[in-house]
Amino acid sequence: MDKSKYKMLVNKYTPKENRLYNGLIAFVVGGFMGMLGQFLITFYSSYFDIPTKEASVFMIITLVFLGCFLTCLGFFDKLVSFARCGLIIPITGFAHSMMSAALEYRREGLVTGLGANMFKLAGTVIIFGVVSAYIFGFIRVFVMRG
């Protein structure tokens, strides 16, 4: 059997992921996360009688708590493998990555395990965010004068 024939056979039997279906699920779940965020902002700003800016901070804290708590209960992983980017791109994905790192390394001790590894997955977001914000802020200060 030559190489191209073998490649064709392999392609035939590798399970195909339905990209359209994945995209649709991510769109719907992500959209509902956005709606939940907007609902929480409206709810907090009317219930506690605070401006929208503070209400959005409350909303972020609530979503982070939800992401952490559902990860602890064990079924957020299943939800993530179902909705993929629908739950990874929202702030819940950030909470999920930190929580699962914390749970995983907890048994190696408080300092060497939990403390040293909590930011293992979530650290990239903070590092790249800070570096890019610094560079773009520099551009805004010196090139565009504010």
What is the rounded CA–CA span in Å between residue 125 and residue 80? 18
Q: How far is the CB of 6 from another protein (least distance, A)?
A: 22
In this chain, which of 7, 8, 9, 39 binds another protein, going by CB under 8 A? 39
Distance of CA 42 to the CA centre of its chain: 23
SS3 category, 75: coil
> Is 2 or 65 the residue whose CB approaches another protein more closely?
65
What is the rounded CA–CA span in Å between residue 52 and residue 42? 8
What is the rounded CA–CA span in Å between residue 18 and residue 64? 30
Q: What are phi and psi of 21, to 5 degrees?
A: -65, -45
In this chain, which of 8, 9, 28, 50 binds another protein, going by CB under 8 A? 28
Query: Under rule CB under 8 A, which residues in 58-87 are in contact with another protein?
Result: 59-61, 63-65, 68-69, 72-74, 84-86
> Is 12 or 19 the residue whose CB approaches another protein more closely?
19
Which tokens go with 60? 């972020």
**Exposed / middle / buried, residue 104 (Cβ in 10 Å: 0-12, 13-18, 19+):** middle
Query: Could you give the string, one character per residue 88-117, with x where binding to another protein holds by CB under 8 A and - elsewhere?
Result: xxxx-xxx--xx-xxxx-x-------x---
Size of the site for another protein (CB under 8 A): 73
> Is 5 or 78 the residue whose CB approaches another protein more closely?
78
Instruction: Please say whether the beta carbons of 86 and 29 come within 8 A.
Output: yes
In this chain, which of 6, 47, 82, 134 binds another protein, going by CB under 8 A? 134
122 binds another protein (CB under 8 A): yes
In this chain, which of 9, 38, 108, 112 binds another protein, going by CB under 8 A? 38
